[in-house]
Amino acid sequence: MFQLDLRSRLPIYMQIVEKLKELIINNVLKPDEQLPSVRALAQQIAINPNTIQKAYRELESQGYAYSIVGRGSFVYDIQHGETNEKLEKIKVSLEKMMSEALYIGLTNEELLQMVENVSAKREDYHD
């Protein structure tokens, strides 16, 4: 589940952030569900607890989780937050990346197909 690449340029704590965001976005971890404890996850993937905590803190400042001392860390229900700024930023990044993909050889049809796949996948979660 947590396959880290210790040699990657991407810091370990960011890799953990990415993995967890993916689980949250794909609704594997649901709003208000508890994340593994800092110590437990640290032991499980054999990483220093401070690194895990750094990841959780980053997740928190990105609005994907919240922590309560003595209780644990939990998935933030994004419905409660304002996401307009984030959305604008991600739209800019998306456009750049789409342009690059088309340049490299992705066809319009393939791109549209991707959009449909992703959209369909999301709708499943709402069942």
Partner DNA sequence: GTGGTCTAGACCACC
Partner DNA sequence: GTGGTCTAGACCACT
Question: 1 near 20, Cβ under 8 Å?
Answer: no
Report the C-alpha gap between 6 and 1 in whole angstroms. 15
By CB under 8 A, is residue 11 in contact with a second copy? yes
Q: Token pair of 26, please?
A: 């794909």
Considering only residues 53 to 72 of the shown chain, the ones binding a second copy according to CB under 8 A are 61, 66-69, 71
Among 2, 22, 30, 40, binds a second copy (CB under 8 A): 22
By CB under 8 A, is residue 28 in contact with a second copy? no
CB of 53 to a second copy, least distance (A): 11
Report the C-alpha gap between 46 and 110 in whole angstroms. 40
Binding string, 84-123, against a second copy, x = CB under 8 A?
-xxx--xx-xxxxxxxxxxxxxx-x--xx-xx-xxx-xx-
Question: 63 near 82, Cβ under 8 Å?
Answer: no
By CB under 8 A, is residue 44 in contact with a second copy? no
